[in-house]
Amino acid sequence: MKKGNLTLLLLLISFATQGQESKLRFGMLRQQDGVSILKEKEAKTLYEHVKWIPIGTNSSLSFGGSYRFQPEAFINEEFSSEVDQDDIWFLNRFQFHSHLKLAGKFELFAELNSSLIDSKTNLAPVDRDKLSFNQLFARYHLNRNWNMLVGRQNMRLGSGRLVDIREGPNVRLSFDLAQLQYKNANTEVTAFYAVPVRVAPGVFDNKALDFQESVGAIYWTQHWNANSSTDIYAIYKEEEAKTWDSGTADDHRLSLGLRHFENWNKLKYNNEFVFQTGSFGDQDIRAWTVSFSIEHPVSFLGENSSIGLKTEAISGDTSDTDSTLNTFDGLYPRGAYFGRVARIGPSNLFDIHPYFDTSMRRFTFEFDYVAFWRLSTDDGVYGPPLNLQYPSINEERFIGHQLGSIVAFEVNSFINLELEANVIFPGAFLDESGLDDTLFHSVLTMEFKF
């Protein structure tokens, strides 16, 4: 760790430990921080006085932020030792936000982001953004059930399968949008029209309202009882000059989805089906995905643990000479779809993914294995951002094996440490493509939230 990063982290840790008895919990989306607990607390620490400032009887102003430091290393990043692909780089992300609430009706939320990286040569758009507004939106509550939002926001729909905040990479995914939302005890319905923010590496230079790409959706979640729920949704996306293995053209597609998730007799289910239709240039789109996930609690060394199995089939194009495109578009999925190693994304894929996790006091351990195959031998292999990583140049299906592990330690409610390691053993498809060396990856995450 560089001296400046270590100094900053130690200062933040010192500040945090002054208020470590606080029962505050921080959301992944910081507008969801549970600061209302401070309203009833009489004896507050200095930190808590700054965190939440009452304004009159029904209004407040709160502040917060986070700092995340990550050294990340690869060996044979592109499955080949013939060129220099061994590297280590250092990612820094600082976010600071303020949240104004007025009379239970109006909210204004602003979140600045600075994402920096050192020692990496070939930068991706998700690596660097020196200074920008990650979120900046106003929300008006029409009544207890309806609210409307306008501005820039991170979004996660359902399980995050198609729309996620992209927490894994250094730069989160933001949308400029208009949104209408209904919510009661059992029903949530969200409708929005959004334009993804195109990240540029400088200071306040991200491209807003670039209509080369846009997305609109209606997303309905129904909680039938305490244990069983469904999501039903329609998402329409337009994107100019989209590249799939079969070529480049304008992509207009409608995604119709159904998700069912429940707890039943100690089993936890999360199953989802999506069908896509539309046009890609002069081709019709017919694509689909189906995923199943089941988890069961177990006792391991006297601690709460679980074992689970995920599997999914994701369509790929079956021919580059017909009038139909079958490649599934994962839209805006998690940047770390199968771990931070981020080599395989959700298109033209079949995978089997067993896993085990357990918690021991402040420690959490996760172990998983994934086997990947191409569903169609006429389509290539794509990365998490749905870019074509490895074109279809042979008839082999098996992509490879991935072994992963995560060890996390919660120092207190402010500070978390996590070490992730992954190994990918190339399968026949990569071997026949001339990519036959084992990939090694590790990333250490040190994050402070306040």
How does pLDDT run across 377-396, given as a tens digit for each residue? 999 999 888 889 999 999 99
pLDDT above 70 (res 96): yes
Number of residues that make up the chain? 450
* Most confident stretch, 70-79, 119-128, 164-173, 189-198: 189-198
Q: What is the pLDDT of residue 8?
A: 56
Check whether 302 has a pLDDT greater than 70. no
Would the pLDDT of 83 be above 80? no
Average pLDDT over every residue of 262-281: 95
Asked if the model's pLDDT at residue 197 lies above 90, the reply is yes
Q: What mean pLDDT do residues 239-255 have?
A: 94
Task: Determine the pLDDT at residue 19.
Answer: 46
Q: Is the pLDDT reported for residue 20 higher than 70? A: no
Q: State the average pLDDT over residues 115-125.
A: 90
Quote the mean pLDDT of the chain.
91
Share of the chain above pLDDT 90, in %: 75
Domains annotated on the chain, with CATH: 3-449 (2.40.160.100)
**Confidence tier at 448 by pLDDT (50, 70, 90):** very high
Contact 207, 201 (CB under 8 A): no
The answer to whether 86 touches 79, Cβ cutoff 8 Å, is: no
pLDDT at 13: 54
Model confidence pLDDT, tens digit, residues 203-229: 999 988 889 999 999 999 999 999 999
pLDDT, mean of residues 176-202: 96
pLDDT band at 40 (very low <50, low <70, confident <90, very high): confident
pLDDT higher than threshold 50 for residue 149: yes
Using the predicted structure, report yes or no on whether residue 29 has a pLDDT greater than 70: yes
CB-based contacts of 266, cutoff 8 Å, min separation 6: 296, 297
The model carries a pTM of 0.90
**Predicted confidence (pLDDT) at residue 24 exceeds the cutoff of 50:** yes
Q: Looking at 83-97, 280-294, 344-358, 427-441, which range is the least confident one?
A: 83-97
